Amino acid sequence: MKSNNEWRSIARKAFALLETGDWAGAVKLFRQALASEQTVAELYAGLGEALAEGGEPQKALDAYLKAHQLAPEDVESLFALGDLYFEIDKDDLALECYGRLVSHPEEAGEALARMGMVHAGREEYQQALNLLEQASRLDPQSAFVLNGLGEVYVALGQQKRALEAWRKASRIDPEDPHIMLNLGELQYDMGEPAAAERLYRQALELDEELPEVHLALGNLMLSQGRERQALNHYRRFLDLEKGQEARDLIKEVSAVVEELDAELGRGSKK
């Protein structure tokens, strides 16, 4: 068995790997630390984060449940559990986790917002709106809350209100590429493709490896007859998107890429 100092040293290295995005390396080190010390909630939470980021939500859930058993009032673990339950379609358990956080004054706004997004995922948009508006009153400067409000406004056909929410969110957090993407998609839907493209490119500057942005740019360029540029972005989307939940979309984009390849190949031979 490793000494107290040894497992602490391993844990520090594991958390450092989390910071760099080396999920597999972090998982290995957290498990090494846990082989010696099994009563520290933070180690299980770190393992859960590494597993979740590495695309293993069920294993991540098991790790966070252990962290929660050891530290039942830990806010971060409750949020993480709620997010994981939501990801694996256990909405009621997600709502239960977030609901426990509403009584925490500093966390109530985000907890209500996440509850709202669960209801939005169920297409229960009025309930979602009520919760997000409560969250906004508690935390009017939260870009996360405003982004959620924008998504619900779009679902309810309230484009102008969505535009206002996302513009405010982008001013509060100009480094969030998802907000820029949402704004771009709304501008495109409102008949403003040039504005949409500018916003998509801003999103790419913030995160060049966000597959949704490449897909959006591919769709925009294809609609404008810019097939070669569209093809490049579709290919980049396929390189980046590996999620199982996107497998049907991946098939659709792959079919479009094959068609564009064939068309452009014929055109180059003329």
Give the pLDDT score at 270: 45
φ/ψ bin of 210: left (φ > 0), alpha (ψ from -120 to 50), beta (otherwise): beta
How large is the average pLDDT for residues 235-252? 89
The phi-psi region of residue 17 (left if phi > 0; otherwise alpha if psi is between -120 and 50; otherwise beta) is alpha
Do 132 and 163 meet the contact criterion of CB atoms below 8 Å apart?
Answer: no
Q: How far apart are CA 184 and CA 202, in angstroms?
A: 9
pLDDT band at 266 (very low <50, low <70, confident <90, very high): low
Alpha-carbon span 222 to 231, nearest angstrom: 8
Task: Give the pLDDT of residue 4.
Answer: 65
What is the token pair recorded at 151?
């998504």
CB 67 within 8 A of CB 46: no
Predicted TM-score (pTM) of this structure: 0.83
Percentage of the chain lying above the pLDDT 70 cut: 97
Question: What pLDDT shows up at residue 201?
Answer: 97
Q: Are 186 and 162 in contact (CB under 8 A)?
A: yes
75-91 tens-digit pLDDT: 999 999 999 999 899 99
The Cα 132–Cα 177 span in angstroms is: 21
Question: How many other C-beta atoms lie within 10 A of the C-beta of residue 103?
Answer: 9
Q: Which residues contact 142 (CB under 8 A, 6 or more apart)?
A: 109, 110, 113, 135, 136, 172
Q: Which domains are seen in the chain, by residue range? A: 176-264 (1.25.40.10)
- pLDDT above 60: residue 64: yes
